[in-house]
Amino acid sequence: MSAPAISQHLRVLEKARLVERHRRAQWRVCRISPEPLEAAAEWVARNRLEWQARFDLLDEVLTELGRTQEEDER
């Protein structure tokens, strides 16, 4: 991977607050910052049960529509 590509990836991660960059003399030091990912994981966990219930209902509706369509084709 080229240096500009690495720099671009690091900028994206920094903008998402997943990486912190600091200068130390001629070095650019990066530190991973997992807090934003932890917040996202908590949000997903809070909503998982509701989403699962909705997906289950959608599955039931689609299954019923498939049965109805099969009966109509006969």
Residue 74 has pLDDT above 80, yes or no: no
**Three-state secondary structure readout of 11-31:** HHHHHCCCEEEEEECCEEEEE
Spatial separation of the C-alpha atoms in residues 24 and 27, rounded to whole Å: 5
DSSP 32: E
Q: For the whole model, what pTM was predicted? A: 0.50
Each residue of 34-61: pLDDT tens digit? 888 898 899 999 999 999 999 999 999 9
Q: Which sequence spans correspond to the domains of the chain?
A: 1-33, 34-74
Distance CA 25, CA 22 (A): 10
